[in-house]
A and B are shown apart, each in its own frame.
Chain A
Amino acid sequence: MSKVEPANPLELLAYNISLQIENGQIVYVGTGLPMVGALLAAKTHAPNITMVFESGGQDPLEGGMPWSVGCPFTFRKSPMVQEMAPSFGQCTLGYVDIAFQGGAQIDMYGNVNTSVIGSYENLKAILPGSGGGNDIGSLTEKSVLVGLQTPERFPEKVDFITTPGYLDGGDSREKAGLIGGPSAVVTQCGIFDFEPASKRMRIKGLNPGMTVEITQACTGFELLLPEGEVPIIPAPSDEVLEILRRDVDPRRVFTKMPGT
């Protein structure tokens, strides 16, 4: 029996985020779990990635977990920092390979809402707003959406499109003049992609212990299935979990389950 405690759902999420990153990529990193996933990737299978932050920090020397995207850890001995406008401009220019975004709502075409639940005329809840979400999601070659999957958070249609995904599916994103697009969705259930023609969300692989039925029950729309058997994503190795717990998020700021 392994002495390392198995991954909790947030650790699995961070691990699955890290799997989206390939060695050598330039990665646009936001706050929270994407930061954990990117740091984990850098300390495991992708040691030669370069991180870029919307505060203008980029290519920092390895250091601790940033408290904010404006934290000095995001520009620790950086060769240079950017102003905000040219920082996002790097996404448009094709210098950024992958970016991450969380959202209060993510729909079947990968549209993201971080603005308002209900509508501005009929408010249920107000969220912080786009921040850099719309920018990285509109401009980056591949964006990965990160969320906790429930039927409310994964509705058929978001209440407000803060960051466009594939809009109404098909070629609607391209027709709108947008660049790049969502390449994956990572949740506590597993990893999803978008079926190439319809651009509808599709199960790519599920976490150990997850089933299609449970995953569908966590979703407010019908998920597409891959051809053949649904792959199970191998659980993170003991070594990866130890790196995550010892070197990436030692204070368990982002990977501790609430109430534990």
Chain B
Amino acid sequence: MGDQYITEEQMQRLVDFKGAREYHLNKRRDKVDKRMSLSEAIAEYVQDGDILAETGFSYVRAPLQAYFEIIRQKKKNLVGIGSPMSNCSYFMALGIMKAIHLSYIGVEMRGNDKNFARVIKTKQAKIASIWSHGSMALGFKAAQLGAPFIASKQLLASDILKQNPYVEVIDSPVGKDKDPVCLIPALFPDVCIIHVQKADRYGNAVIDGPAINDIALAAACRRVILTAERIVPEMAIREDTSASIPFWYVDAVVDLPYGALPGCCPGHYYWAREWWEWLVRCVTPREENIDPFFNYWVYTTKDQYDFIEKLGGIRFMDHARQLMEAAEANIDDSNVSFAYQEVIPKWD
């Protein structure tokens, strides 16, 4: 099964329950201050050859500034997974990731991501297995539950099964119907980075808004990095009993306000919508546009504050905050307009 894109060992590691358990058994248990800089966290806990799980919802509470640091550190031979996993597209285009376990790569109605099609067609990267959002979510959930697999009704009779070496179909051995079910194995990526609204210095973390698969992924992954909008006193989390990730899952805590930009972060800021449309409508359709775009937005951008300056500084940021508060009905939204200039390239 192994090839130049993904080794047999990387294929097997995804479902290696014993290996993940062994890794977890050897993680530090003591409750210590795990704060460090973003570059230290990525340097130490994201390693070449890792299976990297995307978190959030591709561009909702996703650790995008941490992904940009992965690009700046020029990691190699990553394997991508996630449900959804749209940021894997540019990891592949930039040569950082060579194989993916695919659920969905796209920006919904904003258009197909042509990077993705190109890197697969030109064999720069490979699809190692195919999933649906829900079946992959069940794989992460099985890991969190400590279940070797979960039997599902999705994926049955689809051609996805022909492109997925992990899932098996059997007639249910329990119940009276004995009808077919899919066995979805527990999935154990190596590392995930989760952007949260609040964390304490030890790694107890609070997620506001949809958690997507992140609570399951925090349990499943061998290593977990948190980037947080706010580092709060431990007592603030204890008073609310609001944490959904316990500190012992977490290896590193990064104080990273605006860490989900250019995506949105519930409770904090709305998307840089034009940035995403620019990416999928102007940049990814043409290979020669990729390097200049990432050079401008990533390689020559030191941190999230540089990034905000390029987006428009305090005016952009305050507008993004206002849109989020209006969308969440936390301010009087009667005079707030969601209109914006859509990015529509001339060649479309």
Question: Which residues of A are at the interface with B, using a C-beta cutoff of 8 A?
Answer: 31-32, 54-57, 61, 63-65, 67-73, 75-77, 81-85, 88, 92, 115, 120, 123, 125-135, 138-139, 160-164, 167, 172-173, 176-179, 251, 253-254
The reply to whether A81 and B157 contact each other, CB–CB distance below 8 Å, is: no
Indicate whether A64 sits within 8 Å of B327 (C-beta atoms), given known contacts A57-B210, A128-B112, A132-B132. yes
Return the contact of A178 from the options B127, B130, B153 (Cβ within 8 A).
B153
Indicate whether A164 sits within 8 Å of B157 (C-beta atoms), given known contacts A71-B327, A85-B137. yes
Q: Count the A-B residue pairs with Cβ separation under 8 angstroms: how many?
A: 184
What are 22 inter-chain pairs, A to B, with CB distance below 8 A? A61-B329, A63-B327, A70-B58, A70-B264, A83-B210, A84-B133, A85-B140, A88-B134, A115-B160, A123-B121, A129-B102, A129-B105, A131-B84, A131-B104, A135-B154, A138-B156, A162-B159, A162-B160, A163-B158, A164-B157, A178-B153, A254-B109
The reply to whether A92 and B153 contact each other, CB–CB distance below 8 Å, is: yes
The reply to whether B181 and A177 contact each other, CB–CB distance below 8 Å, is: yes
For A126, the closest partner residue in chain B by CB is: B117
The reply to whether A160 and B159 contact each other, CB–CB distance below 8 Å, is: yes
The reply to whether A67 and B339 contact each other, CB–CB distance below 8 Å, is: no
Return the contact of A32 from the options B109, B135, B141 (Cβ within 8 A).
B109
Interface locus among B65-73, B211-219, B228-236: B211-219
For B330, the closest partner residue in chain A by CB is: A77
What is the predominant secondary structure among interface residues of chain A facing chain B? loop
Min CB distance, A72 to chain B, in Å? 4
Return the contact of A135 from the options B121, B127, B134, B140 (Cβ within 8 A).
B134
Return the contact of B130 from the options A88, A129, A132 (Cβ within 8 A).
A129
Q: How far is the CA of A134 from the CA of B138 in the complex (A)?
A: 13
Indicate whether A177 sits within 8 Å of B180 (C-beta atoms), given known contacts A134-B132, A135-B135. yes
For A161, the closest partner residue in chain B by CB is: B159
Q: How far is the CA of A135 from the CA of B137 in the complex (A)?
A: 11
The reply to whether B211 and A56 contact each other, CB–CB distance below 8 Å, is: yes
Min CB distance, A114 to chain B, in Å? 9
B266 at the interface (CB under 8 A from A): yes
Interface residue range, chain B: 35 or more
By a CB distance below 8 angstroms, the chain B residues around A88 are: 133-134, 137, 154
Indicate whether A128 sits within 8 Å of B104 (C-beta atoms), given known contacts A55-B210, A81-B211. yes
Return the contact of B213 from the options A84, A163, A176 (Cβ within 8 A).
A84
Min CB distance, A142 to chain B, in Å? 16
By a CB distance below 8 angstroms, the chain B residues around A69 are: 57, 108
0/1 per residue, B103-131, Cβ < 8 Å to A?
A: 11111110011001100110000010011
The reply to whether B156 and A176 contact each other, CB–CB distance below 8 Å, is: yes
The reply to whether B102 and A162 contact each other, CB–CB distance below 8 Å, is: no
The reply to whether A130 and B160 contact each other, CB–CB distance below 8 Å, is: yes
The reply to whether A72 and B181 contact each other, CB–CB distance below 8 Å, is: no
Q: How far is the CA of A101 from the CA of B156 in the complex (A)?
A: 17
By a CB distance below 8 angstroms, the chain A residues around B140 are: 85
The reply to whether B108 and A161 contact each other, CB–CB distance below 8 Å, is: no
By a CB distance below 8 angstroms, the chain A residues around B155 are: 134, 138
By a CB distance below 8 angstroms, the chain A residues around B113 are: 128
By a CB distance below 8 angstroms, the chain A residues around B270 are: 72
For B157, the closest partner residue in chain A by CB is: A176
Q: How far is the CA of A88 from the CA of B327 in the complex (A)?
A: 24
Q: Of residues A123, A134, A167, which shows the largest number of chain B Cβ atoms within 10 Å of its Cβ? A: A134
By a CB distance below 8 angstroms, the chain A residues around B211 are: 56, 81, 83
Return the contact of B209 from the options A32, A72, A126, A162 (Cβ within 8 A).
A72
Min CB distance, A175 to chain B, in Å? 8
Closest 9 CB pairs of A and B: A135-B134, A128-B106, A177-B180, A56-B210, A70-B60, A134-B132, A176-B157, A131-B104, A70-B57
The reply to whether B153 and A138 contact each other, CB–CB distance below 8 Å, is: yes
Please name 14 further chain A to chain B contacts, defined as beta carbons within 8 Å, in addition to the given A85-B140, A130-B130, sorted by A numbering: A64-B338, A68-B107, A70-B59, A72-B209, A75-B210, A83-B210, A85-B134, A85-B213, A135-B133, A139-B134, A162-B158, A176-B180, A177-B156, A254-B109
